[in-house]
Amino acid sequence: MTPLDEICQVPFHQADAPARARILSRLADTELFAALLAEPAGDRAELRLFDLAEGRFALACDREERLAGFVGGPVAYVALPGRVLARALAQEGRGLLVNPGDVSQLMLDAQTLGWLVQALEARPALARAEMARRLGAPAPDAVALLAEPLAQRLADMAGLVGRLALVAAEWQDGRQGHALILAGVDPAHEDAVAKALAELLAFLPELPGGVDIGFSGGDLPRDALVIEPPPPPPAPEPVRRDPQAPPRLR
């Protein structure tokens, strides 16, 4: 199962709007293998396009063997992130067919790709936790909406974030909303981490008052929703040589 398969437990065309948005968010971060007409020449590659009833579509899969299996043999391809492929196709008014015949099959027209590109241009609303008049427990609907996507995004950023907390926030100007307070982030990575979270929020229904992003190592409200990154995978066991094996000769 690939990450796209796992998030497409309900087929894309049958999913509700929030689920489709999460699938598109995952697609943007997935490396895709796009079919070409021929091997790339230098830095130029021509996508193989298919004429369907809905328009002209490029073909891509999240595994090389899936692409070869659909085409029926070896095929020239280019590997690139879904966000890059989506932008190129949206500019040309083309669609994208992903993983045809698999559980994660997607047929995305140029309009959908354009929406995806626009969502990826989201910029974070930054605010320091110290600027808040009050921080408290997040609203139940915010927890229901954000807990699972935030945990997934935190897993994607393993090693970059030490802790993430979702809190309700009342700001000095009287605005009320929510905030994501992050700790344990290298200052050199703060912009990239904030942008990744802003993209995630852009794919989800908007909460009243919005969701600001801040960095702070200070104390949190006792009833904050705190999410910590998963532990790193265990180191592989060292290969032990059979003491009864004959010596290796060079």
Q: 9-19, pLDDT tens digit by residue?
A: 888 989 888 88
Looking at 99, 120, 141, the residue that finishes a domain is 120
Instruction: Report pLDDT digits (tens) over 164-186.
Output: 999 999 888 888 999 999 999 99
What span, in angstroms and rounded, lies between the C-alpha atoms of 95 and 93? 7
234 found inside a domain:
no
Question: The domain containing residue 38 runs over which residues?
Answer: 3-120
Same domain, 113 and 14: yes
Same domain, 167 and 218: yes
- For residue 183, report the phi and psi dihedrals to the nearest 5 degrees: -130, 155
Handedness of CA 50, 121, 33, 8 (dihedral sign): negative
Rg (CA), the chain: 22
Question: Token match 């807990």: residue?
Answer: 147
Q: Calculate the average pLDDT of the chain.
A: 88
What span, in angstroms and rounded, lies between the C-alpha atoms of 157 and 159? 6
215 found inside a domain:
yes
Same domain, 62 and 133: no
Q: What is the amino acid identity at position 189?
A: H
CB 180 within 8 A of CB 165: yes
- Domains in the chain: how many in total? 2
**Residue 191 burial by CB count (10 A; 0-12/13-18/19+): exposed, middle or buried?**
exposed
Same domain, 13 and 114: yes
Q: In CATH, what number is assigned to the domain containing residue 106?
A: 3.40.1350
Same domain, 174 and 82: no
Same domain, 138 and 214: yes
Q: In CATH, what number is assigned to the domain containing residue 203?
A: 3.30.300
Q: What is the pTM of this model?
A: 0.74
Q: Give 130's pLDDT tier (boundaries 50, 70, 90).
A: low
